[in-house]
Amino acid sequence: MDASGQPAPAPLLAVRDLVKNFPVKRGFLARAVEEVHAVDHISFAVGAGETLGLVGESGCGKSTTGRCLLRLVEPTAGDIRFAGRDVRALRGSALRMLARDMQIIFQDPYASLNPRMTVGAIVGEALIIHRLVATRREFADRVVELLETVGLGADHMRRYPHEFSGGQRQRIGIARALAVSPKLIVCDEPVSALDVSIQAQIINLLEDLQQKFGLTYLFIAHDLSVVEHISTRVAVMYLGRIVELAPAAQLYAAPKHPYTEALLSAVPIPDPTAKRRRIRLEGDVPNPIHPPAGCHLHTRCPRAMPICAAEIPPPKETAPGHTVACHLY
């Protein structure tokens, strides 16, 4: 997939042929005997100021992809370029400086905040690490500013994370990510652990922040309706590969890949009288240690053909900016 037909001339983030295999260690002296193919040659690009939604079911490699971008997980192969810089070549302090450009918001607001640090210390940690403030006064002012940006107050600074609700904690996590004034934020299922009523507030907050600070998001989710609301473009992943990538409106109106069709047909319609043709995928997701040959979906695809088991379908641009990896097209 070549820059995914994105009209922006130089994307902020360009990923090409990213691969991440996790060794499975077993037996005497813990030799790596097998590998989990978590991310299998994926390519995409994110333009400045846009939101790329990344959807797929559990275990399809979307979180691993996000962590590879920040080098929280070391990619096995591939090329990651952020604003033209080769992210995979960064070492030591240069790698730590990457944190000032790229940040991450985590899924679990309970596990992602250090229980022994005050909210002020959590939000302000990056200011100390990167020496962004000179005095205590400046530190406190900046932390209060960050807390207010996400809808919390100065009085929350001295409290501990356990004193907050899930939605408030997620706001703390967002404030922490904003502290370095990043250009791109990987949102790793930021609302999946929250109540539906609070999900909307957090998504609105993320949208407000995007406008205010000109942020770029890689928005990971397993819920298509959440992604539809916030994304400019959407990439659908299945078993470590991107099967379809298209502008959001286009993907939801006219999905091409059988997997995308099946996912969309599973989204509930808030109208009890509405009928829809449900596409059911039979069986379970195959084991990523031994993924099926050819197209990963062929074992479950209702429209599978002989060629699907033999050859990996190359990504094909069927319309401007709309790429599908399927032998049907």
Partner 1 sequence: MAGSTPASPTAEVPLAAAAPLIAAAAAPRKTLGGEAWRRFRRHRLAVASALVLALMTFAVLFGSLIWPVPINAIDFAAHLQGPSLAHPLGTDDLGQDLLARMLYGGRISLAVGFASMVIAVLVGTLVGAVAGSSRSATDTGLVWLIDLFLSLPQLPLLLLLIYLFRASLRKLAGLEIGTFILIVVVIGGFRWMSVARLVRAEFLSLREKEFVEAARALGAPQWRLVMHHILPNAFGPVIVAATIEVANAIIAESTLSFLGLGFPPDVPSWGRILYDAQDYLDIAPHWALFAGGAIFLTVMAINYVGDGLRDALDPRRVL
Chain residues binding partner 1 by CB under 8 A are: 67, 70, 72, 95-100, 103-104, 106-108, 110-118, 125-126, 129-130, 148, 151-153, 155-156, 158-160, 162-165, 167-168, 171, 173, 176, 179-180, 198, 201, 205, 208
Distance CA 226, CA 64 (A): 20
Of the pair 21, 103, the CB lying nearest partner 1 is at: 103
Of the pair 70, 236, the CB lying nearest partner 1 is at: 70
Return phi, psi of residue 308, to 5°.
-60, -30
Distance CA 12, CA 33 (A): 37
- Smallest gap from residue 56 Cβ to partner 1 (A): 20
* Contact call for residues 237 and 56 (beta carbons, < 8 A): yes
Of the pair 12, 113, the CB lying nearest partner 1 is at: 113
Of the pair 30, 274, the CB lying nearest partner 1 is at: 30
Count other C-beta atoms under 10 Å from residue 306's C-beta.
10
Of the pair 111, 310, the CB lying nearest partner 1 is at: 111
Greatest CA span in the chain, whole angstroms? Answer: 68
- Smallest gap from residue 191 Cβ to partner 1 (A): 13
- Smallest gap from residue 206 Cβ to partner 1 (A): 12
Nearest partner of 215 among 166, 139, 149, judged by Cα: 149
Of the pair 152, 301, the CB lying nearest partner 1 is at: 152
Q: How far is CA 224 from CA 220, 242, 266, in A?
A: 10, 15, 9
Q: How far is CA 41 from CA 3, 105, 311, 319, in A?
A: 14, 24, 15, 22
Nearest partner of 308 among 328, 283, 284, 288, judged by Cα: 328
- Smallest gap from residue 139 Cβ to partner 1 (A): 15
- Smallest gap from residue 41 Cβ to partner 1 (A): 25
Of the pair 165, 287, the CB lying nearest partner 1 is at: 165
- Smallest gap from residue 85 Cβ to partner 1 (A): 15
Count other C-beta atoms under 10 Å from residue 181's C-beta.
12
How many CA atoms, within 13 angstroms, populate the side-chain half-sphere of residue 318? 21
- Smallest gap from residue 184 Cβ to partner 1 (A): 12
